[in-house]
Amino acid sequence: MLRRSRYLAVAGFVVIALSGAAFIAFPGWSQTTHQTVTASLGKPISSSAMEALIDQPGSIAVRTVASSDWKADLSGLINLKDPKAVQAGLVDHEEPIQIYTHLVRHPTQGFFMIDTGVSRQFAEHPESVGVPWLLRNFAKMDKLQVREDALSAITSEGVPLKGVFMTHLHFDHISGMPDVPKDIPFCTGPGEAAEEKFENVVVQGMENRFFDGRPAIQEFQFTTDPDGKLEGVIDVFGDSSLFAILTPGHTAGHVSYLARTPTGPVLLTGDACHTRWGWEHGVEPGSFTFERDSERKSLLQLKALSERHPKMIVRLGHQP
């Protein structure tokens, strides 16, 4: 009985946390306890060295796939207490969003994904892949409508998938993992797996199950940007074709990506910015936030980067 009441107290607290309160640090509960190692790919580069190159056409192809439609509370997606949001009269409501995977083709390195999209099994039979009851009931999973599932996206390329670069490890970004072969390496930002917060009481078991039997998570090793314009930059393949940009705040080790395509630079913000309104007004995400000050700084750094390179195409975390 005592155990049951304690469970209900925890469950109630998690419901509150999942339904709008800011993320709360919670020692001992990481996103996943899966092993991590230093990434074999990538070398640090200064932001000025990256920016000297990015307006020159490159050889990477990026196809952004809207894997599913979904809905989330605007108060999670945008900081509604920001003066700009107050002035605009934004009020909380269910906002239509999408879940993406970005299919990256490198002429010699092959085919990689950035984030995983959504597997049909995750969306339609979440209990079968270990999605916990609390998440199924309180993360609006009934509003998840698959458009192009992760498996279709992977097979559409017609070549083997070589690896997955993650912006971060939230459940709506690893939701395509059931479709990703078990031997494929995953890369994240530093400290992403070990990030501790209360909500991980709910999701850690699912994340561990998703990573079970897979290689250790490879963490990019950033160094501080000597130019101070960004937190840190990695040249992923060492040929200045794809860059990982450290953008912490939404999660501890959040990473955005910048690809040099034949038609110009493409910035994939990940959840450094969820929404079009948030990007256009420079307002960071709301309650879906690990650390607000660094999240805001990361968003403003990306906006300034895009303004220095007006031809840059910007693709946001959850809206076109």
Q: Find the shortest distance in angstroms from Cβ 50 to Zn ion.
A: 25
- In this complex, which beta carbon is closest to Zn ion, that of residue 261 or of residue 275? 275
- In this complex, which beta carbon is closest to Zn ion, that of residue 68 or of residue 121? 68
Q: Which stretch in 44-52, 135-143, 231-239, 270-278 sits in contact with Zn ion by CB under 5 A?
A: 270-278
- In this complex, which beta carbon is closest to Zn ion, that of residue 214 or of residue 250? 250
- In this complex, which beta carbon is closest to Zn ion, that of residue 47 or of residue 275? 275
Q: Which of residues 155-194 bind Zn ion (CB under 5 A)?
A: 172
Q: Find the shortest distance in angstroms from Cβ 317 to Zn ion.
A: 5
- In this complex, which beta carbon is closest to Zn ion, that of residue 115 or of residue 235? 115
Q: Find the shortest distance in angstroms from Cβ 173 to Zn ion.
A: 6
Q: Which of residues 271-290 bind Zn ion (CB under 5 A)?
A: 271
Q: Is 196 in the site for Zn ion (CB under 5 A)?
A: no
Q: What does the DSSP assignment read for the chain?
A: -HHHHHHHHHHHHHHHHHTTSPP---TT-BS----EEE-SS-EEE-HHHHHTTTTS--S-EEEEEEEEEEEEEHHHHS-TTSHHHHHTT----EEEEEEEEEEEEETTTEEEEES----HHHHH-GGGGT--HHHHHHTTGGG-EESS-HHHHHHHT-S-EEEEE-S---TTTSTTGGGS-TT--EEE-TTTTT-B-TTHHHHHHHHHHHHTTSPPEEEP-----TTSSSS-EEESSSSSSEEEEE-TTSSTT-EEEEEEETTEEEEE-GGG---HHHHHHT----SS-S-HHHHHHHHHHHHHHHHHSTT-EEE-SS--
Q: Is 295 in the site for Zn ion (CB under 5 A)?
A: no
Which residues are at the interface with Zn ion (CB under 5 A)? 172, 271
